[in-house]
């Protein structure tokens, strides 16, 4: 009896969560406005209650999937009794309704986390932060309940079995890619809430930025991993070895990432120096707005994309309304409350302040470029000027130079100091790394590829120009006092986070550069016993066969790979499958991954006379793309551990948080305040 | 205890809750990180399974240059039938026809531009992934360039103003003292 | 005051963006006009489905407004839209079929089963004419005026409403 009521229970829990979100939004905000502590105290329990009921709702939907309750439309459309249990559980977010529920659950979780770990916040600030998060949450839960209810029943005649999960989504990469991505998107709601709370409370000092920084870093790290996972999935799943297609949906995830990267840096300036206050608030609003925009683009059908969800105009209209209210209201508050006078905090040309200003401007230009390219076809269409496509050639043409310029300044950044830095000293500290970067970068293509290549040199010089000054800086710092190890140990986690983040970008740039220029791809025709040579490897087709899987038939090939006439190194087994239920042919790529190169074999068509078309690819350094992303994410997380974020607000007025080391930490803040 | 061993300083009572979440996040992430890393770097063959359709055709061109032109042309033309794919990546019949035609035209010695024009005449501007510079795409190509220029001017203006602000506000001696204060920290801990 | 105005800019930019997205909701990203509108029907030389010996070229379209329908036996939607095409023929519209990427036997069987509203069926087994027309999937329908210029293009299924609401008015417009 109870089991049959699970979907209703979930539906009911969802309604309760919405009510709690509304209370969480209205009462504490009103309390903060009228200075009533009792009202403000509503925020925390409501955040906890909302999360609890969201968990119940989510658990109910998952239970419906695991129990094969095909009377629930969502389950019937996206699952099947034969699906393994882990795909049943992940199928929950493999569709529109379930994924919005996951979105809301994560929003609730971030709100609850914010309520738990911000005990040091002044009560009115906390009330406003949680109030804003409650508002966003209420919007999304209304969206779920009104347009996308995952608990809708197919009664009285439920189908015998479900329509199954799209085979493309039955994959490990797709189990973890969406949750990571959503954690990133949704995580930016915290810094957004902090910014709005600061605007509402009129406390646009540096304090809110110090509270918001760890949250921003964690959200950014999740988004970074989410994007990398998506790219990795496309690489091995789509069958032609591409890793970034500048598809609108990919761009939708890149937009908040770029804005979030700018935000991380501008938060640093505002916290340390008290300048760029309005700008940082605006970036915080923009970053979360771009997350919402991404949601709209993926779910409204406004743009054609390979990844989009099934589209429904009424949903599109609802999300647009949600987007309009959230972003419009925030920007309205911003226009009214942002500080009118900027503080005359001074800095000179080569100061860290100026370099971070350049960083922000470049990242914003990159964001605008991606947004422009993504929406331009829509703009022309709306103006009845015809249909055009904006694709990889456009984005590559603009992104390569912008990234190179960014790298030029990234090399200077870590060596610079706040406020001012004499040009001569900068030059002295950069001379050696610069010369090394140029020499290695210019010579590397000659050594690696046999001939000089402008693009490879450009990419490598840029990457080395980012890394070598960091190395130099680390060496300098390790010499400062005592043993090198002790000196390095004394460096703050925030510094190490920066090192990892910048190193990660350089690693990704090396990966992009090398794989784009030295990728070898050959389509060959092979019969059993024949071989083809690609990039020094010999691929011999030794065997063809057929195999029956649980729900498909497969033609299989066995390919022996050797090198330089030596014995067989290993074998690879690509397959060509025909999924019986859907009559869908699919290529199962054989991959031989490695740190310095991947080998990639895909089966094409049978060409008669027993031979097959095979696509063989040699992809050097392709793993560096994702390795770099992981390093960046690790950097974002390491920086969170910095103890500075955990000091009480009171510590500012001299009551040091108990350890000796903090004494010198408070110096710059007092100086800049 | 473990915290001390890690070389982290002691924390105040109020810091411990936040410390716990940071550690929790870090642990969670390092687990995830290592899982991903092992997957990413795994040397097990065929670990990454894939299911989708790729267009594989065996084509011979007289020179590697032509083969490269074929690849870049088929990557830059959009399949009119598909959601969002280049004809080089798509298995739809029309993409196949278009690839066939690109190869034929290449063998006839046509230029890249002629081949693109040929496709545009039949399928429209829609098939070009790299939109041409014309009146209606002026903003698309021009805005990023204009923003870079504007950004440069903006930086110059802001820094100039900020430099003057410092000259007005503080005497040379005060400034030197302030610089020393600010930078003592960044030098000592290299804080970012 | 000047600075306050500056702070309003993000809001204005967003309002513009939201307006664009609102407009986008009512647009269909996959609907596009043919590149051949207002251009001559492409040159071709094909036999007919019925008669392998016959030879037709673009002069077929001179002198009378013609509706050209690209179809194939392999295309399920083509079967569904045959009643509408028969209706159009009844209304006195001249129809020419292009049997696209098909075999003669299958094409003939198709017409026998679903009716033949076409004055002529051009037989295009390799899809050469289809390619020249920029066809990327059947069914597609082109309206050619009396001078052999393409005037209107319809992608996909023709509904009964399309017949009365768009196709017939277009035909009359160019007659």
pLDDT tens per residue across span A199-237: 998 888 788 888 899 999 999 999 999 999 999 988 887
Q: Helix, strand, or coil here: A533?
A: strand
Domains defined along chain C, listed by start = 33-174 (3.40.30.10)
Residues B51, A168: C-beta atoms closer than 8 Å: yes
Most confident of A118-127, A507-516, B57-66, B75-84: A507-516
Residue A660 above 60 pLDDT?
Answer: no
For residue A613, the surrounding DSSP H or E stretch is strand A612-620
Q: What is the pLDDT of residues A462-483, one digit of tens each?
A: 999 999 999 999 988 888 777 8
pLDDT-derived band at A662, boundaries 50, 70, 90: very low
pLDDT-derived band at A311, boundaries 50, 70, 90: low
ipTM value greater than 0.85: yes
Residue A40 above 80 pLDDT?
Answer: yes
CB contact C15 to A (< 8 Å): yes
- Top pLDDT among B27 and A501 is at A501
CA distance A370 to A376: 10
The arithmetic mean of pLDDT across residues A142-160, rounded, is: 89
Residue B171 above 80 pLDDT?
Answer: no
CA distance A452 to A443: 8
- Top pLDDT among A129 and B7 is at A129
Integer angstrom CA distances of residue A230 from A180, A334, A591, B150: 10, 34, 17, 34
The arithmetic mean of pLDDT across residues A136-141, rounded, is: 96
Minimal CA separation from B138 to chain A, in Å = 11
pLDDT-derived band at A23, boundaries 50, 70, 90: very high
Q: Which residue in this structure is represented by tokens 């797709």?
A: A174
Residue B31 above 80 pLDDT?
Answer: no
Which site among C33, C39, C136 would you substitute to test the B interface, given the most B Cβ atoms closer than 10 Å to its Cβ?
A: C136
The arithmetic mean of pLDDT across residues C22-46, rounded, is: 87
What sign does the dihedral A654-A655-A657-A659 (CA atoms) show?
positive
Q: Token pair of A39, please?
A: 């009202």
> Residue A163: what pLDDT?
76
Question: In chain C, what residues touch A381 (CB-CB under 8 Å)?
Answer: 24, 27, 29
pLDDT-derived band at C112, boundaries 50, 70, 90: very high
Cis peptide before A306 (omega within 30 of 0): no
Minimal CA separation from C90 to chain B, in Å = 31
Residue A16 above 80 pLDDT?
Answer: yes
CB contact A370 to B (< 8 Å): no
CA distance A28 to A35: 10
Nearest to B127 by CA among B69, B72, B70, B87: B87
CB contact A436 to C (< 8 Å): no
Residue C151 above 70 pLDDT?
Answer: yes
pTM: 0.88
> Residue A380: what pLDDT?
93
The arithmetic mean of pLDDT across residues A168-181, rounded, is: 82
CA distance C48 to C18: 53
| A129, A194 Cβ separation under 8 angstroms | yes
> Residue A668: what pLDDT?
34
Other Cβ atoms less than 10 A from the Cβ of A32: the count is 26
* Least confident interval from A208-222, A417-431, B80-94, B153-167: B153-167
> Residue C96: what pLDDT?
94
> Residue B176: what pLDDT?
65
Other Cβ atoms less than 10 A from the Cβ of C37: the count is 14
Q: Torsion angle of alpha carbons A318, A311, A231, A227, nearest 10°?
A: 10
Residue A667 above 80 pLDDT?
Answer: no
The arithmetic mean of pLDDT across residues A74-78, rounded, is: 89
CA distance A345 to A351: 12
> Residue A416: what pLDDT?
87
What sign does the dihedral A436-A440-A443-A447 (CA atoms) show?
positive
Interface A–C counts its CB contacts (< 8 A) at 72
> Residue A567: what pLDDT?
73
| A414, A467 Cβ separation under 8 angstroms | no
The per-residue DSSP string of B46-105 comes to T-S---B---------SSHHHHHHHHHHHHHBB-SSSSS-BTTT--SHHHHHHHHHHHHH
> Residue B172: what pLDDT?
56
Question: In chain A, what residues touch B56 (CB-CB under 8 Å)?
Answer: 523, 602-605, 613-615
Q: What is the pLDDT of residues A245-264, one digit of tens each?
A: 898 889 999 999 999 999 99
| A18, A143 Cβ separation under 8 angstroms | no
The arithmetic mean of pLDDT across residues B78-83, rounded, is: 87
Residue B146 above 90 pLDDT?
Answer: yes
pLDDT-derived band at A656, boundaries 50, 70, 90: very low
Residue B45 above 60 pLDDT?
Answer: no
> Residue A203: what pLDDT?
80
Residues C134, B97: C-beta atoms closer than 8 Å: no
CA distance B147 to B153: 10
- Top pLDDT among B37 and B75 is at B75
Interface A–B counts its CB contacts (< 8 A) at 333
Question: Percentage of chain A surpassing pLDDT 90?
Answer: 52
* Least confident interval from A341-350, A431-440, A598-607, C63-72: A341-350
Minimal CA separation from C44 to chain B, in Å = 14
Residue A318 above 60 pLDDT?
Answer: yes
pLDDT-derived band at A80, boundaries 50, 70, 90: confident
Residue A331 above 60 pLDDT?
Answer: yes
* Least confident interval from A165-169, A457-461, A650-654: A650-654
Residue A317 above 70 pLDDT?
Answer: yes
């Amino acid at each position: 009896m109870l089991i049959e009521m699970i979907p209703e229970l979930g539906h009911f829990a969802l309604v309760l969560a919405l009510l709690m979100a509304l209370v969480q939004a209205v009462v504490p905000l009103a309390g903060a406005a009228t200075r009533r502590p009792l009202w403000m105290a509503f925020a925390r329990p409501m955040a906890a209650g909302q999360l609890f009921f969201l968990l119940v709702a989510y658990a109910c939907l998952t239970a419906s999937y695991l129990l094969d309750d095909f009377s629930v439309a969502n389950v019937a459309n996206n699952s099947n009794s034969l699906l393994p249990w882990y795909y049943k559980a992940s199928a929950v977010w493999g569709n529109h309704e379930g994924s919005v529920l996951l979105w809301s659950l994560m929003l609730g979780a971030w709100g609850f986390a914010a309520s738990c770990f911000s005990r040091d916040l002044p009560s009115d600030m906390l009330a406003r932060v949680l109030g804003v998060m409650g508002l966003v949450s209420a919007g999304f839960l209304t969206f779920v309940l009104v347009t996308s209810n995952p608990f809708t029943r197919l009664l009285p005649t439920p189908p015998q079995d479900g329509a199954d999960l799209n085979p493309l989504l039955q994959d490990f990469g797709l189990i973890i890619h969406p949750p990571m991505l959503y954690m990133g998107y949704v995580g930016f709601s915290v810094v957004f809430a902090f910014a709005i709370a600061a605007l509402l409370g009129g406390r646009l000092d540096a304090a809110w930025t110090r509270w918001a920084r760890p949250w921003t870093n964690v959200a950014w790290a999740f988004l970074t991993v989410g994007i990398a996972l998506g790219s990795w999935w496309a690489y091995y799943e789509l069958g032609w070895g591409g890793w970034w297609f500048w598809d609108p949906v990919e761009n939708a995830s890149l937009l908040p990432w770029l804005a979030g990267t700018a935000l991380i840096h501008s938060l640093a300036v505002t916290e340390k120096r008290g300048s760029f206050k309005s700008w940082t608030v605006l970036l915080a609003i923009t970053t979360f707005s771009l997350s919402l925009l991404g949601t709209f683009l993926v779910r409204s059908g406004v743009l054609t994309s390979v990844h989009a969800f099934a589209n429904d105009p009424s949903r599109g209209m609802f999300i647009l309304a949600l987007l309009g209210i959230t972003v419009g209201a925030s920007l309205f508050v911003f226009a009214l409350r942002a500080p009118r006078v900027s503080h005359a905090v001074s800095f000179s040309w080569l100061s860290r302040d100026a370099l971070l200003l350049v960083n922000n401007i470049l990242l914003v230009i990159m964001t605008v470029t991606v947004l422009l390219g993504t929406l331009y076809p829509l703009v022309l269409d709306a103006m009845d000027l015809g249909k055009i496509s904006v694709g990889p050639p456009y984005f590559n043409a603009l992104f390569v130079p912008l990234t190179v310029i960014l790298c030029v300044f990234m090399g200077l950044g870590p060596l610079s100091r706040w406020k001012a830095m004499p040009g001569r000293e900068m030059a002295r500290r950069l001379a050696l790394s610069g010369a090394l970067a140029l020499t290695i970068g210019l010579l590397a293509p000659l050594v690696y590829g046999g001939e000089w290549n402008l693009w490879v040199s450009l990419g490598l010089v840029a990457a080395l120009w980012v890394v070598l000054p960091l190395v130099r800086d680390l060496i300098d710092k390790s010499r400062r006092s005592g043993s090198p190890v002790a000196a390095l140990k004394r460096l703050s986690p925030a510094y190490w986070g920066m090192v990892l983040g910048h190193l990660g970008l350089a690693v990704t740039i090396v990966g992009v550069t090398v794989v784009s220029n030295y990728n070898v791809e050959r389509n060959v025709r092979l019969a059993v016993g024949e071989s083809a040579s690609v990039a020094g490897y010999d691929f011999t087709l030794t065997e063809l066969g057929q195999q029956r899987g649980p729900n498909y038939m497969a033609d299989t090939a066995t390919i022996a790979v050797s090198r330089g006439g030596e014995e067989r190194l290993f074998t690879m087994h690509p397959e060509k499958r025909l999924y019986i239920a859907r009559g869908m042919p699919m290529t199962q790529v054989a991959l031989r991954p490695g740190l310095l190169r991947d080998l990639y074999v895909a089966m094409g068509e049978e060409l008669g006379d027993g031979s097959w078309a095979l696509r063989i690819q040699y992809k050097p350094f392709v793993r560096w793309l994702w390795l770099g992303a992981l390093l960046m994410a690790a950097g974002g997380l390491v920086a969170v551990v910095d103890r500075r974020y955990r000091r009480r607000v009171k510590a500012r007025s001299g009551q040091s948080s108990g350890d000796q080391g903090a004494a010198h930490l408070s110096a710059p803040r007092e100086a800049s305040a | 205890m473990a915290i001390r061993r890690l070389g982290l300083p002691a924390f105040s009572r109020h810091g411990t809750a936040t410390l716990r979440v940071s550690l929790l996040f870090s642990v969670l992430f390092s687990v995830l990180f290592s899982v991903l890393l092992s997957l990413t770097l795994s040397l097990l063959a065929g670990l990454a399974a894939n299911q989708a359709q790729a267009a594989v055709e065996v084509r011979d061109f007289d020179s590697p240059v032509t083969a490269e032109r074929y690849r870049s042309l088929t990557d830059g033309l959009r399949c009119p039938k598909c959601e969002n794919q280049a004809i080089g990546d798509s298995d739809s019949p029309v993409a196949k026809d278009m690839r066939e035609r690109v190869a034929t035209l290449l063998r006839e010695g046509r230029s890249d531009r002629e081949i693109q024009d040929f496709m545009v005449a039949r399928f429209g501007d829609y098939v070009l992934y790299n939109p041409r510079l014309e009146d209606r795409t002026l903003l698309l190509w021009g805005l990023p360039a204009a923003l870079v220029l504007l950004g440069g001017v903006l930086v110059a203006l802001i820094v100039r103003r900020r430099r003057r602000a410092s000259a007005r506000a503080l005497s040379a001696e005060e400034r030197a003292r302030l610089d020393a204060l600010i930078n003592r920290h960044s030098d000592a801990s290299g804080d970012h | 005051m000047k600075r306050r105005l500056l702070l309003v800019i993000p809001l204005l930019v967003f309002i513009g963006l939201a307006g664009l997205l609102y407009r986008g909701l009512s647009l269909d990203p996959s609907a596009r006009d043919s590149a051949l509108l207002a251009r001559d029907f492409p040159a071709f030389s094909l036999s007919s489905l019925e008669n392998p010996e016959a030879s037709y070229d673009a002069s077929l379209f001179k002198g009378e407004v013609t509706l050209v329908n690209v179809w194939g036996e392999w295309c399920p939607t083509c079967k569904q839209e045959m009643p509408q095409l028969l209706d159009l023929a009844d209304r006195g519209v001249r129809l020419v079929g292009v049997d696209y990427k098909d075999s003669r036997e299958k094409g003939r069987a198709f017409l026998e089963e679903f009716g033949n509203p076409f004055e002529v069926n051009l037989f295009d087994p390799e899809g050469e004419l289809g390619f020249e027309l920029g066809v990327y999937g059947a069914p597609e329908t082109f309206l050619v005026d009396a001078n052999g210029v393409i005037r209107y293009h319809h992608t996909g299924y023709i509904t009964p409403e399309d017949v009365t609401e768009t196709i017939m008015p277009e035909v009359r417009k160019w007659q």
